Structure 1
Amino acid sequence: MKILKLISNTKTSLITLCLGGISLGMTEFMMMGVLPDVAKSLSVSIPDAGHLIAIYALGVIIGAPVMVGILGKYPPKRVLIGLMISVAAGNLLFSVAPTYTLLLISRFLVGLPHGAFFGIGAVVASKLADPGSEAKSVSVMFAGLTIANIIGVPLGTFIGHNVSWRISFIIISAMALITAASIKRWLPMLPSQSDTKFSESAKVFKKSEFWIITGISAIGTGGLFAWISYIAPLMTEVARFDENMMTPIMVIAGLGMAVGNFAGGRLADRFSPLKTTSYLLIIMVGVLILVALTSHIQPVAILLTFITGGLAFAVIAPMQMLMIRSAKGAEMLASSTMQASANMGNALGAFLGGLPIAAGFGYTSPEYVGAFLALIGFFLCLLLTWIFSTRNKSKKVAIA
Structure 2
Amino acid sequence: MKKTIFSLALGTFGLGMAEFGIMGVLTELAHDTGISIPSAGNMISFYAFGVVIGAPIVALFSSRFSLKSTLLFLVTMCVIGNALFSVSGSYLGLAAGRLISGFPHGAIFGVGAIILSKIAPPGKVTVAVAGMVAGMTVANLVGVPLGTWLGHEYHWRYTFFLIAAFDALVILSVLLWVPKLYDKTETKLTEQFHFLKKPEPWLIFAATMFGNAGVFAWFSFVKPFMVNVSGFSEGGMTIIMMLMGLGMVLGNLMSGKLSGRYSPLRIAATTDLVIVASLLLLFAFGEQKTASLVMGFICCAGLFAFSAPLQILLLQNAKGGELLGAAGGQVAFNLGSAIGAYFGGMMITLGFSWSYVTLPAAILSFSAMTSLLLYAHLKVKTRRASERTA
Please tell me the residue identity of whatever aligns with 1:27: A
Provide the secondary structure at the position in 1 that maps to 2:103.
helix
Partner Cα distance (2:316, 2:66) in 1: 20
Corresponding residue for residue 109 of structure 1: 100
State the shift of 1:272 in Å: 3.3
RMSD: 3.4
Provide the secondary structure at the position in 2 that maps to 1:62.
helix
Q: Structure 1 residues 33, 137: CA separation in 2 closer, same or farther (over 3 Å shift)?
A: same
Larger displacement relative to structure 2 (87-96 or 239-248): 87-96
Corresponding residue for residue 236 of structure 1: 227
Q: 1:212 aligns with which of 203, 216, 227?
A: 203
Provide the secondary structure at the position in 2 that maps to 1:221.
helix
Alignment of 1:162-241 (within 5 A): 165-187=156-178, 192=183, 194-241=185-232
Q: 2:340 aligns with which of 332, 349, 353?
A: 349
User: 1:115-161, CA deviations, whole angstroms, 9 ceiling, x for partnerless residues?
Assistant: 11123435666774875983x65544333233223322332344455
Partner Cα distance (1:81, 1:284) in 2: 37
Larger displacement relative to structure 2 (347-356 or 211-220): 347-356
State the shift of 1:281 in Å: 0.8
Partner Cα distance (2:121, 2:265) in 1: 19
State the shift of 1:262 in Å: 2.0
Partner Cα distance (1:307, 1:252) in 2: 10
Corresponding residue for residue 145 of structure 2: 154
Report whether the alignment pairs 1:65 with 2:56.
yes
Corresponding residue for residue 384 of structure 1: 375
Please tell me the residue identity of whatever aligns with 1:343: N
Alignment of 1:38-49 (within 5 A): none
Corresponding residue for residue 286 of structure 1: 277
Alignment of 1:314-325 (within 5 A): 314-325=305-316
State the shift of 1:393 in Å: 4.0
Given that residues 73 and 194 in structure 1 are in contact (C-alpha distance below 8 angstroms), is that contact kept between their aligned partners in structure 2?
no
User: 1:306-325, CA deviations, whole angstroms, 9 ceiling, x for partnerless residues?
Assistant: 22211112112222222223
Q: 1:18 aligns with which of 9, 18, 37?
A: 9
Corresponding residue for residue 5 of structure 1: none
Corresponding residue for residue 255 of structure 1: 246
Given that residues 41 and 341 in structure 2 are in contact (C-alpha distance below 8 angstroms), is that contact kept between their aligned partners in structure 1?
no
State the shift of 1:259 in Å: 0.9
Which TM-score applies when normalising by structure 2? 0.84
Given that residues 147 and 258 in structure 1 are in contact (C-alpha distance below 8 angstroms), is that contact kept between their aligned partners in structure 2?
yes
Identity among equivalent pairs (%) = 37
Corresponding residue for residue 246 of structure 1: 237
Partner Cα distance (1:287, 1:39) in 2: 28
Given that residues 195 and 317 in structure 2 are in contact (C-alpha distance below 8 angstroms), is that contact kept between their aligned partners in structure 1?
no
Report whether the alignment pairs 1:336 with 2:327.
yes
Q: Structure 1 residues 216, 361: CA separation in 2 closer, same or farther (over 3 Å shift)?
A: same
Provide the secondary structure at the position in 2 that maps to 1:364.
helix
Q: Structure 1 residues 161, 375: CA separation in 2 closer, same or farther (over 3 Å shift)?
A: closer
Please tell me the residue identity of whatever aligns with 1:29: F
Given that residues 123 and 324 in structure 1 are in contact (C-alpha distance below 8 angstroms), is that contact kept between their aligned partners in structure 2?
no
Q: Structure 1 residues 224, 100: CA separation in 2 closer, same or farther (over 3 Å shift)?
A: closer
Given that residues 31 and 53 in structure 1 are in contact (C-alpha distance below 8 angstroms), is that contact kept between their aligned partners in structure 2?
yes
Partner Cα distance (2:380, 2:68) in 1: 37
Q: Structure 1 residues 366, 129: CA separation in 2 closer, same or farther (over 3 Å shift)?
A: farther
Partner Cα distance (2:289, 2:92) in 1: 43
Partner Cα distance (1:38, 1:313) in 2: 27
Q: Structure 1 residues 367, 156: CA separation in 2 closer, same or farther (over 3 Å shift)?
A: closer
Alignment of 1:78-97 (within 5 A): 78-95=69-86
Q: 1:295 aligns with which of 286, 290, 295?
A: 286
Provide the secondary structure at the position in 2 that maps to 1:296.
coil
Corresponding residue for residue 367 of structure 1: 358
Corresponding residue for residue 267 of structure 2: 276
State the shift of 1:336 in Å: 1.5
Given that residues 146 and 257 in structure 1 are in contact (C-alpha distance below 8 angstroms), is that contact kept between their aligned partners in structure 2?
yes
Please tell me the residue identity of whatever aligns with 2:325: A
User: 1:202-223, CA deviations, whole angstroms, 9 ceiling, x for partnerless residues?
Assistant: 3343331221111001112222
Corresponding residue for residue 30 of structure 1: 21
Partner Cα distance (2:142, 2:185) in 1: 38
Please tell me the residue identity of whatever aligns with 1:232: K
Q: Structure 1 residues 270, 142: CA separation in 2 closer, same or farther (over 3 Å shift)?
A: farther
Q: Structure 1 residues 296, 167: CA separation in 2 closer, same or farther (over 3 Å shift)?
A: closer
State the shift of 1:273 in Å: 2.4
Q: 2:45 aligns with which of 37, 51, 54?
A: 54
State the shift of 1:352 in Å: 2.8
Partner Cα distance (1:132, 1:394) in 2: 36
Q: Structure 1 residues 208, 302: CA separation in 2 closer, same or farther (over 3 Å shift)?
A: same
Provide the secondary structure at the position in 2 that maps to 1:239.
coil
State the shift of 1:12 in Å: 4.8
Provide the secondary structure at the position in 2 that maps to 1:379.
helix
